[in-house]
Structure 1
Amino acid sequence: MHRGKGMKFVGDSRVTDPASRPKKMPKDYSEYPGKTEAFWPDFLLKEWLVGAVFLVGYLVLTVAHPSPLERPADPSDTAYIPMPDWYFLFLYQLLKYEFASGPYNVIGSIIIPGLAFGALLLVPFLDTSKERSPWKRPLPTGFMLLALAAMIFLTWESVANHDWVAAKAQGEIKAPVAKVEFDESSEGYQIYAKASCISCHGNAFEGGIGKPLIGLKYTADEIVNIAHEGLPGGMPGGTFQGTDEELHKLAEFITTLQPEGK
């Protein structure tokens, strides 16, 4: 306030009439075809409504059909074949192929998935088109369809293969057993019976706990080496009960076991 100038008052916005305040209006998007709707609250409200419908439907489905749970873990059950969750089954199946398993495990577990997911991540940078039609965007559309088809196929293969292996382990599916003619009085068979090989590989070499010994593609020296060192995921090493001379005779005998008709 200055002398001779009178007195002036400044209004406080906190005590003004709410009706006189300017309303917050959404921006005008009319210049952008297809985007004439305000994000808040119009578009976001629709998103919430759609999400609520799916959430309620998911909860109803969960209550009506609970997730199947397997029996408690039993370490004594050697026939049980564990499986990962369904969203990892396509990667699980990939590791079963020869080019992505064993010595090439790095290819199946890191390189192939890394290239696939890396290609999907690069799609937005490789395709900068503003078109929305999938037919006018062949590159990203092709990548997505290829990835989806691969995941569906590998998932289906994993489930089908697991069911077959589980049925085979439970004895529901029996693989044809090759037969071989041999002389039980021969020295090789006597060593085979004496060394308790029968308990794992069967009386007629048909297999059991261990693999069949008919038609093996191993030399005698390789069989001796397997008896000493074992096979990864299969026969343990050092299980032969006998001398080295008996082991070599047994290995020579096993190489003569060829299926009938061959």
Structure 2
Amino acid sequence: MHRGKGMKFVGDSRVPAERKPNIPKDYSEFPGKTEAFWPNFLLKEWLVGAVFLIGYLCLTVAHPSPLERVADPTDSGYIPLPDWYFLFLYQLLKYEYAAGDFTVIGAVIMPGLAFGALLLAPWLDKGPRRRASQRPIAAGLMLLAVLATVYLTWESVDHHDWEAAAEQGEMLDEEEAAAVEEVDTEAEGYQIYSDQGCIGCHGDQLQGAGSAGPALFDVPYDAESIKDIAVNGIGEMPADQFDGSDEELDLLAEYIASGGNPEAGGDSEGEEEGETTDEEENAEDGEETEE
């Protein structure tokens, strides 16, 4: 049927009144190619997660996290070590052009460029292929990042002084902890101890600072020997560390010789004297009885 100028009617192209919703096919129509999200897929995910969780718990029981002594902000000799996933950045900050005056470069600029390149990798290489050999830019950036992270982490572990770190982080035993608790930080000798900078090497409670300096709450020296050490040094401790008056030196030596608790030392001496007096009185009483 022809209408108008050469137009030919081929049928009705109007949209039907009854529109069918666009419902995807059921997963059962694709046997072996898909599965139900609930419970099939989630069950597999939970099983895999449970296996890793149990394995992690077994690892924590077999190798518990190492604990160190209570943190001491006055310990200037402490050797810090971040968690393993920051060791590569920790090692980077040891190099000449990433530390000191160039800390901003090593801590901000270089990591920012590295992570920025990884974020831009999908836009730098828009190829549809998925093989690494066919995506040189993305694969190259990822390989460079992995190699740099592994190398810097290995260098950090290799250069760290693990023996010194274990020594400085060693926890105090019960006797040492009790001795530290008895340290009198209100004594005049402690004020001199703090003003002279002894805290930096021997701790704020005479507990020592690992390799920087030994503990002082149980030293095998008397006051005179301690005065000589403070002036002339001993071992790795250099001379002329004390720059106060003779009176302050006497107070400091007596304070250290008493284990940081001069009042307890005095009391114990008094108690000993008291005990001797009682014994003498008993002896005198015995002599009078004999007479």
Q: TM-score, normalised by structure 2?
A: 0.44
Q: TM-score, normalised by structure 1?
A: 0.49
Higher helix share: 2
Higher relative contact order (CA 8 A, sep 6+): 2
When Rg is computed on C-alpha atoms for both structures, the one with the higher figure is 2
